[in-house]
Chain A
Amino acid sequence: MAADHNAFITEEAIEGDDDAEGPLAGTTVAVKDNISTEGIRTTCGSEMLADYVPPYSATVVDRLTDAGATIVGKTNMDEFGMGTTTETSAFGPTKNPADPERVPGGSSGGSAAAVAAGETDVALGSDTGGSVRCPAAFCGVVGIKPTYGLVSRYGLVAYANSLEQIGPIAGTVEEAAAALDVIAGPDPHDGTTRDLADVEGADPDASYAAAADGDADGLTVGVPTELFDGADERVVETVEAAIADLEAQGAETIEISLPSVEHAVQAYYVIAMAEASSNLARFDGVRYGNRAESDGNWNESFAETRDEGFGAEVKRRILLGTYALSAGYHDKYYEKAQDARAWVRQDFEDAFADVDVIASPTMPVLPFELGESLDDPLRMYLADANTTPVNLANLPAISVPAGEADGLPVGLQLVGPKFGEETIVRAASAVEDAS
């Protein structure tokens, strides 16, 4: 607690249910500030919502407190989840506890930093294109992006609905899995959640925490060349060593190819920006959010409110999304991106016919220095090359510490088949045991 990493936007507690028998009794949880908390402001890292106080809590927050957890505060994030460094927050950047000169990753950077600095046991993030896994990798902790539909998004302020899931971040695989056990499950308030009893091959009574048994014997690990090409050599070496550790524990590795992922970043950004331009149209300063002082008519007032309330990256994505959906461009960008999304999904499905999990670096780079990538949005987008394919394919993935390179944390990403959370948790726990 010595150093201030600016991990929290608001530090205010919600006490858990006193029933000490809850699975998370005595556990502290920090919640990303785009997840609604009744009576506690929820800013999304934006000036637009700096004073917004939700009248209800997200389903995941109710589930945590029902399980005995105490919410300790709301964590810093890239504005509306749009960023890979937590530098686009209107509340200032978060510092990486592993090296305060560097970014913690993003967009759930405050959540990962709070866990890494020991300011909370567990944290929730949201992952639209890697926003749980990236900061987990950069801060040297564990992050899980669940299968689309496993965790309710009710009360999550939407950025790109078809891609995002709420997921846990913790110091160990077992702690992250135990939090996932609590927040997972169908919710009548979110029609995209699935009841695992209706999913072929899934176990509705699965305990993810129990799956963290460190047993990698007999596991088949696919290693896709495309997700290693172009990555920083130091990252590749560290990740290859972690995969070799899995082999030493009885896992078998197979080189595989996922040609579609070369187009994942483009497809992801087109789809995410298109959805963002629609989702963020709601911020007009009338029903909630800050409103600009304006003498203009409705449209002028709306435009001034959005100029004042949104930062540069949010404006960039709203404008590019509007462009990609506008007449004459819809087919060129949005339709092609949907084709690419289907191709990525098919590629992964084919791969999982032969392997149990797919391993790669979580991030192809080491953590950026603060300020390094802020003026070059495209460079920042390219860092999402290994995480975005997973969101396009609706799959579960975990980032687990693989070791260090030049004293900086490196994350190993393990991707599983749809609702294969137990498999990735098991494999990740074996990586953890070895390091």
Chain B
Amino acid sequence: MSDTSESTGDAERDVVDDADSSAGSDASAVDAEEVRHVADLARVRLDDDEVAEFADQFGDILDYFEALDEVPETDREEELVNVMRPDQVEDGLTQGEALSNAEETEDGFFVGPKVS
């Protein structure tokens, strides 16, 4: 998804400015434009009704998330270790199994939609 991140950087910056400048109870108000922008980033097509409904609901949900501002910075030490194994060839799915759920295949490959 990195292909769109540069071109949308400005839009996100604007959004942040808006959020900062309207401190108070509407701090998390979300407009239709933002919902469309995020849906575009996530590759989910939405119809106009969904956009309106989500804009409404996201405002409420993000307002609720605002309470995270009260959380103190916390030490996050956790005993995590990497789990490694020898880099050896092991049995996996056969080509036929791996392709078995694809909508379209050709000569042992997945067939995707056109790129442009």
Contacts and interface: CB of A to CB of B under 8 A. Distances in A.
A326 B54 contact: no
Contacts of A192: 83
Contacts of B46: 307, 315
Contacts of A51: 101
Contacts of A262: 67
A281 B42 CA distance: 8
B32 interface: no
B24 interface: no
A291 B102 CA distance: 9
Nearest to A288: B101
Given A263-B70, A286-B110, A378-B57, 7 more contacts: A191-B83, A291-B104, A312-B53, A319-B54, A326-B38, A336-B69, A339-B76
B93 interface: yes
B71 A336 contact: yes
Interface string B86-116: 0000000100011011111000001111111
B98 to A, nearest CB: 7
Interface string B1-23: 10001000100110110000000
27 contacts: A53-B101, A262-B67, A263-B68, A266-B64, A270-B65, A284-B43, A286-B103, A289-B101, A290-B103, A297-B114, A297-B116, A298-B112, A299-B43, A300-B45, A304-B45, A315-B46, A318-B44, A319-B42, A319-B44, A322-B41, A324-B65, A326-B41, A333-B65, A339-B71, A339-B72, A339-B73, A381-B64
B53 to A, nearest CB: 8
Given A298-B114, A298-B115, A377-B61, A306 B71 contact: no
A296 B116 CA distance: 8
A309 to B, nearest CB: 10
Interface in A275-290: 277, 281, 284-290
A277 B1 CA distance: 12
B97 A55 contact: yes
B75 interface: yes
A266 B67 contact: yes
Nearest to B68: A336
Contacts of A290: 103
Given A267-B68, A378-B61, A287 B13 contact: no
Interface of A: 51-53, 55-56, 188, 191-192, 262-263, 266-267, 269-270, 277, 281, 284-291, 294, 296-304, 306-307, 310, 312, 315-316, 318-320, 322-324, 326-329, 332-333, 336-340, 342-343, 345-346, 377-378, 381
B42 A322 contact: yes
A266 B64 CA distance: 7
B93 A55 contact: yes
The 3 closest A-B pairs by CB, nearest first: A301-B113, A288-B101, A191-B83
Contact of A297 (B12, B69, B115): B115
Contacts of B41: 322, 326
B31 interface: no
B63 to A, nearest CB: 9
Contacts of B110: 286-287
Q: Which of A266, A284, A310, A346 has most chain B Cβ within 10 Å?
A: A266
B65 A286 contact: no
Contacts of B50: 312, 315
Contacts of B104: 291
B44 to A, nearest CB: 5
Contacts of A337: 68
Contacts of B45: 300, 303-304, 306-307
Contact of B57 (A266, A301, A316): A316
A337 to B, nearest CB: 6
A332 B16 CA distance: 11
Contact of B74 (A55, A297, A343): A343
Contacts of A322: 38, 41-42
A241 to B, nearest CB: 32
B71 A277 contact: no
Nearest to B80: A192
B61 A56 contact: no
Nearest to A314: B44
A342 B101 contact: no
Contact of A277 (B13, B42, B64, B68): B42
Contact of B71 (A56, A263, A310): A263
Q: Which of A53, A328, A337 has most chain B Cβ within 10 Å?
A: A328
